[in-house]
């Protein structure tokens, strides 16, 4: 009987230890797979015949990143919108606004680019891996970003295509809708069943982000009232990116979870992105991750629980620079 009790105790301890390890492996222990280098990026930008690093650039693309000057398309601003910043270097033009919408403080960046190559992504610590994280502002600083928002937090999941700056890092599919950004600057909401990661890359994928859902497709709101991500609350801080046309984009972040700012539902976010003129729009990681950085400064009020305003560390950003 004593031996049986000891064996039972050992079994319980082993099970507990394994459970703790799984949690640590999922959310704490760093797994650094690839450090991003200029050579890795060159497999796309320089259109080389063979991958520079076979474990990084699985399928180099021959598509050009050059993009014609964007068409003139005016963004539609909600009443009371105020301009809080601007930037223009002849290739990148950004106007930053803030306004109230559905009892929520919203920050929106109207972005016009002369080429899709200025719409970029970056990993925390310039490293693709698991549980490698940093604040959005720090990743933006390292990337010399003019404007940045948090990305899709790919590192919190083991599936979902990861194509960044024309380089394929992960080709395992997930059920989530993905945002495909092509080298011509166009956006499309796609499913993993539509094409493999290699097919997307060879077809001109510049970025593929996997969080979702798609908010606007072909100018129509694509989310229904009450639809949410997993078990998320109905009103949250949000991050979204949208395309008015090739070369003209909208970056949007909303505050939430505080007495001053309720937060947006997905349907409210979709309605707002469509009303502002987006033909395509996509939901990125939200909640405590939602952060916008402009010229080195955090412009919104990121919070995880509403009790403290502070940035959450994330695995990646989407930026202009």
Residue whose token pair is 């394929």: 168
pTM of the model: 0.83
Q: Output the pLDDT for position 232.
A: 52
Residue 120's nearest CA partner among 87, 92, 81 is 92
Q: Output the pLDDT for position 297.
A: 98
Q: Output the pLDDT for position 134.
A: 98
Bridge partners (DSSP) listed for residue 239: 253
Alpha-carbon gap, residue 186 to 181, rounded angstroms:
6
Residue whose token pair is 């959310």: 27
Q: How much is the CA Rg of the chain, to the nearest whole Å? A: 21
Residue 166's nearest CA partner among 205, 129, 132 is 205
Tokens of 69: 């000057």
Residue 174's nearest CA partner among 186, 190, 150 is 190
Q: Output the pLDDT for position 9.
A: 56
Q: Output the pLDDT for position 224.
A: 82
Q: Output the pLDDT for position 40.
A: 43
Instruction: Read off the DSSP letter of residue 212.
Output: -
Q: What's the length of the chain?
A: 321
Alpha-carbon gap, residue 238 to 233, rounded angstroms:
11
- The helix/strand/coil state of 87 is strand
Alpha-carbon gap, residue 186 to 205, rounded angstroms:
10
The strands making up 220-221's β-sheet, listed across from edge to edge, are 82-88, 92-101, 104-113, 248-254, 238-245, 280-283, 214-217, 220-221
Report yes or no: 98 and 82 within 8 Å, Cβ to Cβ: yes
Alpha-carbon gap, residue 235 to 39, rounded angstroms:
42
Residue 204 has a CB neighbour count (10 Å cut-off) of 19
Q: Output the pLDDT for position 73.
A: 74
Let me know if 224 is exposed, middle or buried by CB neighbors in 10 A (0-12, 13-18, 19+).
exposed
The pLDDT averaged over each successive group of 10 residues in the chain (321 residues) is 55 46 46 55 37 38 43 85 98 98 98 96 96 97 98 94 95 93 96 91 95 97 75 79 97 96 96 98 97 98 93 98 96
Tokens of 128: 């693709």
């Amino acid at each position: 009987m004593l031996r049986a009790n000891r064996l039972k105790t050992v079994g319980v301890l082993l099970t507990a230890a394994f459970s703790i390890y799984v949690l640590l492996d999922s959310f704490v222990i760093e797994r650094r797979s690839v450090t991003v280098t200029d050579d890795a990026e060159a497999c796309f930008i320089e259109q080389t015949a063979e991958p520079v690093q076979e474990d990084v650039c699985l399928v180099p693309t021959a598509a050009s990143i050059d993009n014609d000057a964007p068409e003139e398309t005016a963004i539609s601003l909600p009443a009371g919108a105020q301009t809080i910043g601007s930037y223009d270097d002849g290739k990148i033009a950004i106007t930053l606004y803030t306004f109230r919408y559905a009892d929520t403080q919203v920050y929106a960046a109207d972005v016009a680019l002369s080429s899709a190559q200025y719409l970029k992504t970056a990993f925390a610590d310039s490293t693709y891996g698991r549980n490698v994280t940093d604040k959005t502002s720090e990743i933006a600083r390292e990337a010399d970003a003019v404007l940045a928002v948090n990305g899709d937090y790919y590192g919190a999941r083991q599936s979902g295509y990861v194509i960044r700056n024309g380089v394929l890092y992960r080709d395992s599919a997930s059920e989530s809708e993905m945002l495909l950004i092509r080298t011509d600057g166009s956006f499309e909401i796609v499913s993993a069943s539509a094409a493999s990661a290699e097919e997307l890359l060879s077809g001109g994928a510049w970025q593929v982000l996997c969080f979702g859902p798609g908010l606007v497709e072909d100018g129509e709101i694509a989310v229904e009232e009450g639809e949410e991500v997993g078990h998320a609350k109905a009103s949250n801080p949000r991050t979204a990116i949208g395309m008015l046309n090739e070369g003209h984009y909208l970056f949007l972040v909303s505050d939430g979870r505080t007495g001053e700012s309720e937060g947006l539902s997905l349907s409210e976010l979709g309605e707002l992105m469509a009303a502002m003129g987006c033909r395509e729009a996509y939901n990125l990681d939200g909640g405590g991750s939602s952060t916008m950085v402009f010229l080195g400064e955090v412009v919104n009020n990121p919070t995880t629980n509403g009790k403290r305003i502070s940035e959450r560390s994330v695995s990646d950003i989407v930026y202009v620079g």
